[in-house]
Structure 1
Amino acid sequence: MRRFQLLSVCALLVGLVAGAGADEAAADLNWAGCGITKKAFMAELAKAYEAKTGINIGIAGGGATKGIRNAAAGNIDIGGACRTSLESRDDERNAHQIPVAWDALVVVTHNDNPVDNITFEQLKELYLGKITNWKELGGNDAPIELYARRGKLSGVGRTLRELVFNNFNQEFETDNLMKSSGPVESAVEKNPHAIAVTGISSAKKRDFKILKLNDFEPSYEHIKTGEYVLYRPLYLVTQRGASDQKVKDFIRYAVSEEGQKIIRQQGTVPYTEAMALVMKQLDQYDKATKSGVYQTGAGSNI
């Protein structure tokens, strides 16, 4: 099913780009959802679209789950998400997702922390509670304070569970659970013993250190090539079968050459520039399916 979905969106993108010259719309649109998607490109994309068409797009946060479910229900015109929708849930089944960019999950810590690099296996052991002192990572003799998102359906939390653990129900060994990525990032800025994972698009706008993973920086090129392994798509979300021409026109703009250029200017990898990552994702999905990750993930709670 996941393989079919990914190949289908590739075909959809081709059609949308081909039809990017649609008539301009003449009414406001509302967008809400993933804060990382908002910071990655959405604010700038909406501003450019308004300058081009005169259409103002209202932007609100609320997280990926809000973006998916409100768009699926028709409560907003367009949602933003950094995770895939869940067909097992009635309130997400009617969501239609269009990938427009690539994001990466990054490990972050306080600026004064001497650690610069972490391995994939060390990251896993951190969240399992097996590494608890910074000296185990080559740092000072001090306790590690891990911060994470509350629940299991946030974009960051769900993607981390998928890419690192192949288990959407994986528990994280920490008492520092926050309601959203903003408080997580703020805690890391202030706490010299803190560590967390967040999206690079918001991390780049914070005052803390972004660590290398397996000696690779989460640079534009390393994400684009897949050498930095914790990458994920960022989506625009609409109600399945929606016929609003204003919404279609904006989606076409987002995936057009002009829209993708604006995304690139924000330091975010446009989806169409790294299509090789789609095949890498298909391999990930195949491995995850064989290991049972999608079956175990069906009952995850917020």
Structure 2
Amino acid sequence: MAWIQINTVVSEAIAEPLSDAFMENNAASVTFEDAQDQPIFEPELGTTPIWDRTKVVGLFDAETNPQAIIQQLTQQVPEVPASAYKIEQLEDKDWIRAWMDLFKPMQFGDNLWIVPSWLEAPQPDAVNLMLDPGMAFGTGTHPTTSLCLTWLDQHAPKNLSVIDYGCGSGILALAAQKLGAASVVGTDIDPQAITASRQNAERNHENISFELVKDFDSEPVDILVANILAGPVKELAGEFIRLLKPGGTLILSGLLANQAEGLVNHYRDLGVELDTFEQHEEWGLLAGIRT
């Protein structure tokens, strides 16, 4: 099936109303793209950030009259003139196959692999997690996820208890379980993340409990890993310490490298010496022991 795209670049304030207008005009989908290379490193919890200049793209059936759509859009969102819209023809191809071809098996450390479920594991005897890209954060492609997976591979939690705090897709919980942990639990503030984590656990034939933070409780564990953001990592310090056994290991990621020093000082004052630092691109991982 062939498609056309109608797109334009707008300010942050216009992006959502324009998206709504696209959908009201029967767009098959609407996507947002960064129009000026503006990374968003640390959004507020519970928010969906949009760039200052955002490219809004509506996808339509090729039989659609794009000029008629643009005329409707200018009436609904008069801030955007008709001349600002661009129309692009998309070739007819198997979009699902093209999307699947973007993802390949990824290796972390020596023994850990993340493998899309439709592919064969490159090393069948290695520790393989079957994980498909989805809406919840965490498929191994982000530097912070990669840092955490590599750390777990290098410090396999054999016979230890683990909490994955901010589980996203459940990828770190699954890695810990497959690397020999005695028990693993996960939690997140996002119901979608809990759903994705449970589905991924089922796909990997692992029995792991995932609960929303509001419903979550756990006895102190040997290892707590939190791949979230620097702000919440700082705010949750007391909770993380409560959930760790004395002598337990805390692994923190989701932070920018230039935020590490402040977190090291903050946690030192609370009795956790974060003496390990790893960096990938501009992102960092901290690890240390609770005294």
Report if TM-score (shorter chain) is over 0.5. Answer: no
> Larger helix proportion, structure 1 or 2?
1
> Larger strand proportion, structure 1 or 2?
2
- Normalization by structure 2: what TM-score? 0.27
Identify the structure with bigger relative contact order (alpha carbons < 8 Å, sequence gap 6+): 1
Whichever of the two has the greater Rg, that structure is 2
- Normalization by structure 1: what TM-score? 0.26
